Amino acid sequence: MSLSEALKVAEEAGVDLIEISPSADPPVAKVVDWGKYQYQKMKEQHKNQKHAKTVELKQMRMSLKIGANDLEIKLRKIRDFLKVGHKVKIFIFFRGREMAHQELGYEMIDRIVALLENDAILEQKPQMAGRNLSIVVRSK
């Protein structure tokens, strides 16, 4: 169908002629009500945004000298975050001369990962940044 015929058909129907693929031989065009098409596309995008799940990055800070009960409370809170679907960044901060014993921080990270192994997967390996040792975990 020639361009003039396609424009005539679109004019008679009271809709628009949209060129879909101009590089094809012959070019591909579609007769569509442009306003209705835009509205449907916008509605579909809104529906997709509604169903999209946002993943937040929660942070949990703890000291190198944290007590056993305090650690359990922090781990329970981390498990709650993971159940909701958030990622959790766990920080172990060093004070003063604790920086001389960074291996204790790595041991603590290993212990935390072992305690969370049923609920979480280690996403980012232990990383030192200043006085903080951090990891990122996500739910299984």
Strand segments, DSSP code E, in 6-110 are 16-21, 28-32, 57-63, 87-93
What's residue 43's pLDDT? 93
Asked whether the predicted pLDDT for residue 54 surpasses 80, the reply is no
> Tens digits of per-residue pLDDT, 81-133?
999 889 999 999 999 999 999 999 999 999 999 999 998 999 989 999 999 99
Asked whether the predicted pLDDT for residue 53 surpasses 80, the reply is no
Task: Name all domains of the chain by residue range, CATH numbers in brackets.
Answer: 3-51 (3.10.20.80), 57-139 (3.30.110.10)
Q: Residue 130 carries which DSSP code?
A: T
Residue 59 to residue 40: CA distance in whole angstroms: 40
For residue 58, give the nearest of 76, 24, 85, 22 by alpha carbon. 85
What's residue 73's pLDDT? 95
Residue 66 to residue 36: CA distance in whole angstroms: 61
Residue pair 76/88 in contact by the 8 Å Cβ criterion:
no
Asked whether the predicted pLDDT for residue 139 surpasses 80, the reply is yes
For the chain, the residue count is 140
Asked whether the predicted pLDDT for residue 140 surpasses 80, the reply is yes
